[in-house]
Chain A
Amino acid sequence: MRKVPRFLLVFIILFLFALVISLIYRLRIAPVERVWLLYTCIKDILLYLPLLASLSILWSLVFRSKNEAGGVSSKSRFVFSFIFYVIFSFAFAFFMNEFAISRLEEMAYHSSMVQKQDTSRERLTDETGDKFTLSEFRNLRLYPFKENVTFMMGRALVNMGKLYNADGIFYITDLKVIAYDTNKNIDYIVAGQYAKVVDNQIVVHNPTYYEYSRGRIRSTKELREKRNIPLIYNIKGVYSLSSKEQLRDISMLNIILYYEYVYGSKINFQRIGNVIYNKVSYYVIMIFLLIVCSSAGWAMRNTRITQTKDIFQMVSFYIVSFVVVTLCYDLLIRMMNMIYGLVAL
């Protein structure tokens, strides 16, 4: 068998093996709720993914197959396989970490909410646009939300009590917009209980308008109409980059896509810095392990086909390579943790 198909085969077998182990662990030893099962299992596997990829590279490179010819051409073939391994593993890890896992989390969250409320899922469709009525807000309890979302928009401070994501339509309750003038004094305040995001504009239902001059209230108006406030950031970015509780995980893809929010919102993103450091370290560790494993596997590959009498050597190779690669992985993780600890503590 050629190297690349063998690598994929070993990788898939290891992946399924890890999935089975994780399922057994999450069903029997440390049980989680059923709706969160898939998310938790994928999260477990992602922790072990650099290990699985490196081991499959090592195991596919070391063993010699029957129809394999030595010589000059095998080296160029190795370089091709090597590039394929690294790019494939990295792309797979990136896709799972930055794209799939956040989707899975949202899905699991929604399912758990639906399960709790004991109602079927009602899909909202954005037919009403900015002519929405308050009845739309009744279905919101089924949808995931972020609490206490706050950011700066130019000189205005925007606070949303709850920001709901109803299948791509965003609803806001308890909105407050505090606008400052150039001298850092309050210019005006807009407060409204219900709002909806339509075409990059926040449409506020019956807002209260407080006008300030020189730091004191000049007038208060309770408006009986809808008012539009332009939103300069993409609301998806605002939603995905804020956290329900303490921030644990964030998608790098969102940070790249919504960079203007990251830079402009004036949020002290110390926590996000920590998360980004961890993510980048994860990828660096992964690539480092892949390179080390593939070069070791290529340099010390077998020069003959293994036979039945080598069974002890084969079994011990599987054990020792697993332990050594795991130790290397943990070593690098601990090194990265230590470096961050030295800076932050």
Chain B
Amino acid sequence: MVYITSLKKYFFTFLKTTAFFAVMLLIYFFQMVFYYKGNGVDGFFVSALANYGTFLFFSLPLICIIATGVYFAMKINFDKLYALRLIPIIACFNALLLLIFFVVNIDFISVPKDVTFKVYPEIKSGYINPVNRYQLYINSTEENSIKDGFLFHKNAYFISSGRVTDKQITVRSSRYIAAKSMASKNSTFAIPHEEDLFQISHTGISSFLFEAYEIYIRRLRSVFNITFSDGGIASSIIAIILMCVGFFSIVAGASFFLNDREIHLLSLSAIVILSFVEAILFQLYLSLVEVIKLGIKSPFWSVIVPSLLVGVFAGLLGFGLIQLKDVLKKRQGA
């Protein structure tokens, strides 16, 4: 029963972390909506939402690592035997999620670069319309054709006729007023009728971080594919579980050292930093299986045996960390 409660508690921690990620990744969603809308893609909202969901799905390994770190540092009190029994359960739960991450084959569009889109300002009758460097006063119009008005650009031109299309305004004039005189001269103006959409500038730090993050998750996924795809689905399931138990025991063991609730926010950020370091190590850890093939011919065992070895060693490392914490705690108590 106590395990079910712990698992439930972990699940809520996981959900909270996911919610945090979902909020932060909204940057990508907004960018996608803006990008699709600017390019005139039909159903832009749904496509952006689908891409956003996929991006969130790709963040699953990092969410697992952070949630495990936060859970073992913040949510439970340190008790050696209890921790040793709880870690495999949490690790198996994480392994299931990572298995889904490995099996489901979807992809998303890369984070779009910032582009400026053009807008076509409305030309109003009875108003002065600033278009490009020209000032266009329109006295009367009929649908898209200008009947009467003035065009100001150095001189004031009497408009005799004109036409407004989506991208261009064409104006014909036969007379103009200069500074000292009025003169007759036929002239035609073709004015580009578009303006840059003026946006609030952002700091640029988020774009940089997102690019780095996208490279990371794509590489992690390829590492997963390279490592586990040779031996068939059964061996990869067992291998992922073995690897995960080892890895998450290290994560849990390391985060027990940051269990300090008096400086809550500080410990939390320390866990986040630690989790990012662990996430970078995670792909190296996974590729260890590819390195230690041990010359086994059978594809089934060639994945499982190295993962068993790596998993056991990592598990021992995690056990060592927990033992160290226990010893330190006893010494402090004495």
Q: How many chain A residues touch B (Cβ–Cβ < 8 Å)?
A: 76
Which B residues, 206 to 224, have Cβ-Cβ distances below 8 Å to chain A?
A: 206-207, 209
- Contact check, B263 vs A245: say whether CB atoms are below 8 A apart: no
| Residues of chain A contacted by B130 (CB below 8 angstroms) | 150, 243, 267-268, 271
Q: A157–B150 contact, CB under 8 A?
A: yes
Q: Are A345 and B122 in contact (CB under 8 A)?
A: no
> Is A254 among interface residues, defined by CB-CB distance under 8 A?
no
Within the complex, what minimum Cβ distance (angstroms) separates B66 from chain A? 11
A residues less than 8 Å from B117 (CB atoms): 341, 345
B195 is an interface residue with CB less than 8 A from chain A: yes
A268 engages B124 (CB within 8 Å): yes
Indicate if B33 sits at the interface (CB-CB under 8 A).
yes
Contact A331 B27 (CB under 8 A): yes
In the complex, whether B47 has a CB less than 8 A from a CB of chain A is no
Q: Which of A178, A245, A248, A319 contacts B156 (CB 8 A)?
A: A178
Q: Does A82 contact B (CB under 8 A)?
A: no
Among the listed B139, B152, B180, B200, which residue makes an inter-chain contact with A278, where contact means beta carbons less than 8 Å apart? B200
CA–CA, A319 and B134, complex, Å: 49
In whole Å, how far is B17's beta carbon from the nearest beta carbon of chain A?
Answer: 13
Q: Knowing A313-B258, A319-B269, A321-B269 touch, does A271 contact B37 (C-beta < 8 A)?
A: no
Known: A310-B266, A344-B197. A266 touches B30 (CB 8 A): no
Q: What 1/0 flags go to B254-296 for Cβ under 8 Å of A?
A: 0000101011111111101110000000000000000000000
Choose from A176, A306, A334 the contact partner of B177 (Cβ within 8 Å).
A176
B119 on interface, CB distance cutoff 8 Å: yes
**Nearest-CB residue, chain A, relative to B199:** A337
Query: For window 239-285 of chain A, which residues contact chain B by CB distance below 8 Å?
Result: 243, 245-246, 248, 265-268, 270-271, 274-275, 278, 281-282
Interface string of B156-182 (1 = CB under 8 A from A): 100000000000000000000111111
| Total A-B residue contacts, Cβ distance less than 8 Å | 202
- Number of B residues, CB within 8 Å of A: 66
Asked whether B140 is an interface residue with its Cβ less than 8 Å from the other chain, the reply is yes
Q: Is the CB of A331 within 8 A of B124?
A: no
Min C-beta distance of A4 to chain B, whole Å: 20
B residues near A295, Cβ cutoff 8 Å: none
Q: In whole Å, how far is A280's beta carbon from the nearest beta carbon of chain B?
A: 10
Residue of B nearest to A43 (CB): B201
Within 8 A of A (CB), among B18-48: 23-24, 26-27, 30-31, 33-34, 37-38
* A281 CB, min distance to chain B CBs, angstroms: 6
A300 located at the interface, meaning its Cβ lies under 8 Å from any Cβ of chain B in the complex: yes
User: Shortest CB–CB separation between residue B138 and chain A, in angstroms?
Assistant: 10
Closest beta carbon of chain A to B122's beta carbon, Å:
7
Contact check, B34 vs A278: say whether CB atoms are below 8 A apart. Answer: no
Could you tell me the distance between the alpha carbons of A324 and B26 in the complex, rounded to whole angstroms? 13
- 1/0 contact trace for A301-345 toward B, CB 8 Å? 111101000101110110111011011011101111110111011
Tell yes or no: A231 within 8 A of B by CB.
no
Q: Indicate whether A48 reaches chain B with its CB closer than 8 angstroms.
A: yes
Contacting residues of chain A (84-99) with chain B, CB-CB under 8 angstroms: none
Q: Are A330 and B180 in contact (CB under 8 A)?
A: no
- Are A161 and B179 touching (Cβ within 8 A)? yes
Assuming the contacts A159-B152, A191-B177, asked whether A331 and B127 have C-beta atoms less than 8 A apart, the reply is no
Q: Which residues of B lie under 8 Å from residue A320 when comparing CB positions?
A: 268-269, 272-273
Chain B interface secondary structure, helix, strand, loop or mixed? Answer: mixed
In the complex, whether A152 has a CB less than 8 A from a CB of chain B is yes
Rounded to whole Å, the gap between the CB of B159 and the closest CB of chain A is 12
Known: A184-B140, A189-B177, A306-B266. A316 touches B272 (CB 8 A): yes
**Residue B202 CB within 8 A of the other chain:** yes
Is residue A122 contacting chain B, with contact meaning CB distance below 8 A?
no
B residues in contact with A210, CB < 8 Å = 177, 182
What's the Cα separation between A340 and B198 when bound, in Å? 10
**A113 contacts partner chain B, Cβ-Cβ < 8 Å:** no
Contact status A246-B196, CB under 8 Å? yes
* A306 touching B121, Cβ below 8 Å: no
Residues of B within 8 A of A157 (CB): 128, 137, 150
A192-B179, A300-B264 as given contacts; A267 in contact with B127, CB under 8 Å: yes
How far apart are A54's CB and chain B's nearest CB, in angstroms? Answer: 12
Q: Is A65 part of the binding interface, using a Cβ–Cβ cutoff of 8 Å?
A: no
A47 in the interface (beta carbon within 8 A): yes
Whether A303 contacts B262 by the Cβ 8 Å rule is yes
B273 and A331 within 8 A (CB):
no
* A267 contacts across to B, CB distance below 8 A: 127-128, 130
- 8 A-B pairs besides A274-B197, A317-B270, A321-B265 with CB distance below 8 A are A178-B156, A180-B139, A245-B133, A246-B195, A310-B263, A316-B273, A326-B205, A337-B34
11 interchain pairs, CB-CB under 8 A: A161-B154, A243-B130, A246-B195, A246-B196, A278-B198, A316-B269, A323-B205, A326-B205, A334-B206, A341-B117, A345-B117
| Chain A residues packing against B (C-beta within 8 Å) | 47-48, 51, 62, 147-148, 150-152, 157, 159, 161, 173-174, 176, 178, 180, 184, 189, 191-193, 208, 210, 217, 220, 243, 245-246, 248, 265-268, 270-271, 274-275, 278, 281-282, 296-297, 300-304, 306, 310, 312-314, 316-317, 319-321, 323-324, 326-327, 329-331, 333-338, 340-342, 344-345
Q: 6 nearest interchain CB pairs?
A: A320-B269, A330-B206, A313-B266, A316-B273, A150-B135, A334-B30
- Residues in chain B within 8 A of chain A (CB atoms): 23-24, 26-27, 30-31, 33-34, 37-38, 117, 119, 121-124, 126-130, 133-135, 137, 139-140, 148, 150, 152-154, 156, 177-182, 195-203, 205-207, 209, 258, 260, 262-270, 272-274
